[in-house]
Amino acid sequence: MKESQLVELLSVLSPAERLQLREFAAIPLFNGGPRRNYVWPLLEWCHYHLSENPDADLPPSEAYHYLFPDEPPVDGKLEKIMVDAQKFVRTVVHTRYYLREENEFQQMYDLSEVLRQRGLEPRQLQTLNRLEKQQKDAIQHHQYYFHHQFLLEHAIFDRESLYNKRKGDLNIPRVLDALESHRHLNELPLLNVYLLQKRISSLEITERMQTYIDSYSIPEHVLEASPRIRIQYTIYGMLVKDHLESSDAQRLFEMLHQYERYMDKDALQQFYTYLRNFCVMILLDNPEAEGIYEVLSSLYRDNLDRGFLHHEGKLHPSRYLAVSEYAARARQHDWALGFIEKYRDEIIGENETRDIYRLNMAYYLFGVGRFEECLEQIPDTSPYTDYMIAGKRLEIKCMYELDHELLPFRLDAFRVFLSRTSHKMIPDHIRQKNMEFVNMVTQFIASVKGDKDRSARLLERLREKKQAFEWLWLAEKAREMEVRR
């Protein structure tokens, strides 16, 4: 039974929610099948065992004996009750989900349709007027605002059409305006995510998609109708640029402050994610913009306090790494260590060996100069591409600091990975940044320490290779070559 749809659904409900099913089981509307008298006893049996041990096997034979203690087994009898119980639980879950407070608009809209179908049209009009006022009073235009506006305007159009007096526009212009805004509010976020994915992964862009990207535009009246759409369109304009500048990040930051009162938490969380990504992109293009490290670290701390970095109480590994990495780069080591430890149990996709936590600890240890301990913490690999590659670079940096005898072999292995294996995993420009890092470290270990001319030449090459990953560390090591012996 453990693998059944019924038990899977019950296991994601809280104990209190499972017990509340008893009240619904007594209502024929929810539980009215021919086997209704066995549904709650079966659920109660499952609840008991799941509460005692969430990983319990729940043998079907024991469930059958509980329901029919004095009867011999009959093929299919328990299974039919399980199907009825699963349908019952699903109906209750659907009902509770529909009746959430945030679904109030949809509930009122559906009520207006029921009123219309039952001939209570004056009451329907009253309900539509209430919805119209609710929409006008809304300061924050959430993701579904224009969808709701479209439903409302279309309902008004239906009424106007039913009582067409052969004058007026039947509310059609307002329906079309709402539909257009609804389209852009849902279309543009998808396009922006695609453009961001294009920057960080290897995508084969079809001619049709490229044309779509190049020709996308939004009329000014739509932008004026929603700050949310205006910000999304500003993000689109930045994502189609070849290179971002500090002024782009500043512009988006100012827009978020200007329109923050019109945004719900989900929108702010999404937009601040773009802002942080833009700061990272700017640093990749111009690693000498050291001030952005502190700005980005402060931004992460602010967003962490406001709950913008979490998703359903959990942290994505990439965000966990970014926060600790940029705190370390801003030399905020004590805070970075506190963050790593505090959120170690809230990471999405962490495994039994805690590889995600270990790599973040390795970044901290490297930042405070504990290179031997850092090497011990770095996992051998990771299912997350950014973690795997970051770990390889960090291992090379540690070995260089320790003058480790295995460094040449690690460099060769990383070079082979980049040239042969990584093509389906990372885009060309990311691969090139990693390859330039490998090439520069290779030149370092082939150089004589204390050679000022060689150090100057390496620094000059670095200025031509500002796209290399770990550029600031590379520049620091090149300058040290003047005095290291």
pLDDT in tens, 9-34: 998 899 999 999 999 999 999 998 88
Q: Any idea which residue has 């189609």 for tokens?
A: 240
Helix (H) or strand (E) holding 105: helix 104-117
Q: Any idea which residue has 């050291």 for tokens?
A: 290
pLDDT in tens, 401-430: 999 999 999 999 999 988 887 677 777 888
Residue 358: which residues within 8 A CB-CB, separation 6 or more?
377, 378, 379
Beta strands in 359-468 (DSSP E): none
The dihedral over CA atoms of 295, 296, 299, 301, expressed in degrees to the nearest 10, equals -110
Please state, in angstroms and rounded to a whole number, the distance separating the CA atoms of residues 137 and 276.
32
pLDDT over 60 at 484, yes or no? no
| Residue 485's pLDDT band (cuts 50, 70, 90) | very low
pLDDT in tens, 83-130: 999 999 999 999 999 999 989 999 999 999 999 999 998 999 999 999
pLDDT in tens, 354-411: 999 999 999 999 999 999 999 999 998 888 888 899 999 999 999 999 999 999 999 9
- For position 109, what pLDDT does the model report? 94
